[in-house]
Copies of this chain bind each other. A is one copy, B any other.
């Protein structure tokens, strides 16, 4: 039995209740750790649940950062170094990934605080997370502040991917179940997923 919440009722919800409710409305989200570094070599790791695909050619990804939230250090670092990494969160390390969202001081690396391990490649300065099954290196393309609520949209181009090639199907698709990735809902719930199947390209002549 569905009930209706109208705009006035949503506005009247207690702040924390509304945050939990609205955050869970969009459905399942991806979980990625944003790795960054500053000019002094101080690393930073932040859990992002707003990473999304923008395009495949060129290969572009977007993410949203609230300027006054924990990931502001990440934003400062990626603006300074013009690069960052995104590291998929798996069932084996989602508790450590969640822990990166604690308010650590500027001089504390979330790598040290959570026991996740830095890993570097020749392609970019920013650190990868060794434990992640899907590691993406990105070059910053642009940032833009959204007028509606001062959230910052960050767009990056993929310049490197580290993944076990056996996770890739013959047509290029990654098997996210086999990689053990988690999905997130709301601010704090983690899920594992199991496939219902791949569907064929939809034709106007009907399913299948």
Is A76 part of the contact surface with B, judged by Cβ < 8 Å? no
- Closest chain B residue to A155 by CB distance? B148
Give the docked Cα–Cα distance between A141 and B84 (Å): 30
Within 8 A of B (CB), among A48-65: 50-62, 64
Say whether B196 contacts A191, CB under 8 Å. yes
Binding site for B on A (CB under 8 A): 1-7, 10, 13, 15-32, 50-62, 64, 66, 86, 88, 91, 94-96, 98-104, 108, 113, 121, 123, 133-136, 141-142, 146-149, 151, 153, 155, 158-165, 168-169, 171-174, 176-177, 181-183, 185-204, 206-207
Task: Show 8 A/B contacts (Cβ-Cβ < 8 Å), sorted by A.
Answer: A3-B164, A3-B165, A7-B160, A25-B161, A27-B88, A102-B203, A173-B187, A190-B195
